[in-house]
Structure 1
C-alpha cells in the first residue's frame, strides 16, 4: 500500500524536514520488497534564541539595563526627597543643596563623611555635618535580602550575604559597622580586586544602617542639636529606607490555569498532593516479571508499601523496592530496568567503565515532602495545609510576607519561620482542586486515565488529537500553552511554518491530495536542556572534526596533469 510520510528533525537553530512516498507492499517470494522515494526535503535555519556563551536569554542584557535605569531613577527620587525634607524643615537653604557652585557636598575643606559618622555617636555635629551624615546614610543604605534561601544560591548575592554575616559577627559593645570599618583602616567602599572580581568585605546590611541612623538621632538630641527632631527622624526613615514590596498577586497572575478546572491556578510541583500524584502514577504503572516470564502489575498491598517507602526515604531506587517487596525473590525483574547494561565509555578519562548495578536506577523521590519534613513536623498538619504552605512559598518572594501568610494559615511562629527558609518555584498542569478529586482514585489503584474518567474528567479533551488536526493548518501556539523557554518557543514556531507548507502546496493541487498521508515522524531537540559549556564543547568538537577533514582532503590530480 502506498502512503506518504512526513519527517521532521527539530533543533535549537535548524529544522530538517522530508516528505517520503513509501510503498509497504511486500512479497519476498516474488522479490517484491517495500520501497520509498524522497519527494522533497530541506532545512530551515534560524537564529538560536539564547546567548551561545552562557545560555541566557537574548533579552537578558536589555532587561538588566532596564533594571539599572529603574534603580538609578528610584535612587535619584529618594535623594531628591531627602534634600527636600532638609529644606522643608529649615535645616538649610535650597541653593546649598542643589546649586553647583554653593553645594555643601562639593566643598574642598569638608571632612570625611565616614569620620563624621563615627563622630556623630560621641560629639555634637554642626547642622551641615548632620545633613552630610544623613545624606550619606540615605545614599548608601546597605544590602537588604528579600529571600535569603534564593540569594544564597546566587553566586554574587551569596558573596554579599557571607560578607554581611562576617561583619555582623564583628559588632560588639553597641558599636556600629561604620566605626569598625573606620578603625580597621584601608578602603571604606567595596572595590574590585586586581583580577576584576568584586569584593564585599565592607558590605553593611540595611537594618544596621537604619539602627545607626536611629543611634545618631538619639545621640544628637542628647547633645543638644535642635535639628535632630523626632519628626525629622520619622520622615527621614520613611524616605531613606522605603522600598517597593514584591507583589505576590502579580506572580499569581503569571501562573497558568488547570487543564480540567479552567478557573483554578496550577498547583506547585513540590506540593505534597502534586508529588503524591506523580508518585502514584509511577507506582500504578510499575510492573514486574516473574521467573516464568509472566508480566504483572503490583498488588494494592505492594503499591501501598512502595508509597510508604517513598514517604520515609529521600530517594528510592529499584533495589530498595526489590528489598522491601521481594526480599527472597531474586528472580523478580522490573520491566523498566535494563538488566544487561553495556559498558560505559567515560569521555573525560577515556576509559571504559563497568556498568553499575541495574537496580541502582532511581525510581522516584518526594523532594518537596522531605524538605517539609526537615523543616517542620508534617504529622501535625493536614496535607491541605502543607499544599497551601508550598503555594505561598512558591508565589511570595519576600521572607516577611511568607511568614505572615503562613501564620494566617494557622502555622505556629516557629514553623512559619522554618518554612520561610525553603524555596519552591515550578508548577504542574493540574490544580489542587483537580488533584484532590483524582488522587483518591489513583491511591485505590487506578491509572491516570481511569481516575479521570471516574471523577468525570475527559483527559482526551485537553486538546484536539492529531487525527482531528489532520487536514488542517497548525494555528499559532496560544500564549497560555507557550513554554517559559524561548529556545523551545522559537523552534516550535518555526516547525509550525514548515509543517503548514505541504498543506498549502497540496490544497492548491487537488491531484496531490493528502489522502494517502499515513504518518509523521518528529525528532525533537536533544541539546535544548544541556548546559552552555557542554554546547560549546560540542561546537568545538565539530569545528575540530571539520578542520581535520579539510586537512586530510586533497584535490585529485590526473596522470597527465602538468605543472
Structure 2
C-alpha cells in the first residue's frame, strides 16, 4: 500500500471489489497515472436478509403456537368441558402448575378433572416435540452430528422403557432435578410421534366412559380429532392448522411456484428456481469442468475431465456430503503425479500478464503489478507440487485479479 499523504488527486477513479464478507478498494490518481491509496474493509458475512428471515421464522412459530392454544381453549368451551372462567382459573391455579408433570403421568392410568386435563394438554401444545422434515431416517448417523440430534436419539431410546413420555419425566432418575431444556442440553426434546401417542392414550383414558357409550361415542371421537388434528379453511380460502399435531406440508409445487417471480425479459415465464436439484447439478458439473488436470511426469501436460469422469463424480456427489480433491483422485484412480488446477485461475494469470504489458506503461503501476503477478506465479508453481496448497494459490491470485479490474476501469 502506498504511503498516505495530505495530497488529494483532482481526477481519480475508484475501484471496488465487493465480496460477501469484505470490500476491497483502490483510488487511482488519473493525472499521475498511479495508485493513490488502496485497502480492504472486512465485516461479518451475515447479511440482513438472513437475520430478518430468522426473526420472521420465530414470529411465525410463536403465532402458530398461540393459534393452537387458542383453539384448544375453544374446543373445551364449545363442547361444554369447561367455561371461559374455568379456563382462566385453570391457567392461574398454582397447585396444578406445581404438580403438572405428576398430573401428566397420572392421566395415563387414572381419571383427572377437566381443568387438570386442560392444563396437561395446554403444556403439551406448547412443546409438541420434534418432527424432522428429512425424507430419510432422522436418526441415521449422517444426520445426527449435532448435540441436538444426539440427545434426541438418546431420549427416544430412554422413552422406549416407558409407556409414555409423561411417565418417563415423572419416574426416570435423569429427570428428577430438571425436566426442561437448557443451553446445549436438550434433555426434554422428544420425537413428536411419541408425544402424540401419549396424548392419544390420555384422551382415550379420560373419555373412556363417553367413548364406550353409543350416544356419546361419535361426539367424543370428534372432540379427540379436533384436539389432535383440526384443520379448517378460513374466509380467504387458506388452511389453518389448529390441532396440537396438525402439520403444514413442508413444501409442495404450488408453494415453490408462489415464491418464484417472473422473468425480467420473458414477462409471462417464471424464473428458474435456484434452490433446486437441477441447478445444484449444473453448478457442480460446471465447477468440475473448470478443473485442469496437470501431469507432472509429462511436463505438466494438461487435460480435462471427460463426460464419463463427470458422470462418475456426479454419482459420488449423491452419496457423499463433501467431495475433496483427494476424493476425486481416488474415485478416478489418478496417479500421485497428477495435480489439479483451475481454468479460471490459469486464464486470469495469462490475461493479467498481457494486460500489464500492453495497457500500462506507467513504471510505478507496472512494477507493482509485475511484483504481484510474480508472487502469485511462485505460489502457483509450489501448489502444483503440493495439491494441499491449492487454496493458497487461489488467495495469492486474488491480489492481481483486483489490480486487473482497477486498471480496466481506469482506461
TM-score by length of 1: 0.44
- Report deviation, 1:162: 2.2
Q: 1:230 aligns with which of 194, 217, 221?
A: 221
| Aligned partner of 1:81 among 71, 74, 77 | 71
Q: Is the 8 A contact 1:118 1:178 kept in 2?
A: yes
Q: Which residue of 2 aligns with 1:202?
A: 188
1:147-193 deviations in whole A, cap 9, x for unaligned?
Answer: 3889999999933322221121123466111101100252453243x
Relative to structure 1, is the Cα distance of residues 270 and 521 closer, same or farther in structure 2, using a 3 angstrom cutoff? farther
Listed one character per residue, the Cα deviations across residues 220-266 of structure 1 (whole Å, up to 9, x for unaligned) are 33356889921210111122222433344444565689999975625
Match of 2:28 among 10, 18, 27: 18
| Separation (CA, whole Å) in 2 of partners of 1:258 and 1:235 | 43
Query: For the structure 1 residues 106 and 269, does the alpha-carbon distance in structure 2 shift closer, same or farther, using more than 3 Å as the test?
Result: closer
Residue 13 to residue 342, structure 1, CA distance change in 2 (3 Å):
closer
Alignment map for 1:320-399 (pairs within 5 Å): 323=335, 358=385, 360=387
| Per-residue Cα deviation, 1:100-146 (whole angstroms, up to 9, x for no partner) | xxx12222443612111211121122222222222222233222222
- Matching of residue 212 in structure 1 with residue 198 in structure 2: yes
Q: Within the alignment, does 1:246 sit opposite 2:285 as a pair?
A: no
Q: Is the 8 A contact 2:261 2:270 kept in 1?
A: no
1:6/1:521 contact within 8 Å kept: yes
CA distance in 1, matches of 2:39, 2:341: 43
Please give the alpha-carbon distance, in whole angstroms, between the structure 1 residues aligned to 2:280 and 2:288: 12
- SS state of the match for residue 245, structure 1? coil
Tell me whether 1:38 sits opposite 2:33 in the alignment.
yes
**CA–CA separation in structure 2 for the residues paired with 1:272 and 1:73:** 34
Which whole-Å CA distance do the structure 2 matches of 1:172 and 1:231 have between them? 29
Asked if structure 1 preserves the Cα contact closer than 8 Å seen for 2:13 and 2:27, the reply is: yes
1:520 aligns with 2:405: no
Equivalent of 2:117, from 121, 130, 134?
A: 130
Secondary structure, aligned partner of 2:409: strand
Distance 1:19 1:178 in 2: 74
What TM-score comes out, normalization by structure 2 length? 0.57
Task: Rate the CA distance shift 1:154–1:58 in 2: closer, same or farther, 3 A.
Answer: farther
Alignment equivalent of 1:120, drawn from 100, 107, 110: 107
Quote the Cα distance in structure 2 between the aligned partners of 1:81 and 1:332: 64
Name the structure where helix makes up a greater proportion of residues: 2
Distance 1:79 1:307 in 2: 53
Number of the residue aligned with 1:179: 167
Name the count of aligned residue pairs: 317
The 8 Å contact of residues 340 and 384 in structure 2, kept in 1 or not, is answered as no
Partner of 1:69: 59
Is residue 158 of structure 2 the alignment partner of residue 170 of structure 1? yes
Cα 1:277–1:145 change in 2 (3 A) is closer
Uncovered stretches (5+) of structure 1, i.e. residues with no partner: 22-36, 325-329, 345-354, 364-498, 500-517, 523-563
Describe the shift of the 1:280–1:259 C-alpha distance in structure 2 as closer, same or farther (beyond 3 A): farther
Larger RCO, structure (CA 8 Å, separation 6 or more): 1
Q: Which runs of 5+ in 2 are unaligned?
A: 1-10, 230-242, 317-322, 347-375, 391-405
User: 2:83 pairs with 93, 112, 126, which one?
Assistant: 93
1:13-40 deviation per Cα after TM superposition (whole angstroms, max 9, x unaligned): 563221436xxxxxxxxxxxxxxx2389
1:97 touches 1:104 (CA, 8 Å); kept in 2?
Answer: yes
Q: Distance in 1 between matches of 2:206 and 2:146?
A: 36
- What whole-Å deviation, never above 9, does each CA across 1:306-365 have from its counterpart, x for those lacking one? 5576468763249967649xxxxx899999799xx9999xxxxxxxxxx687274799xx
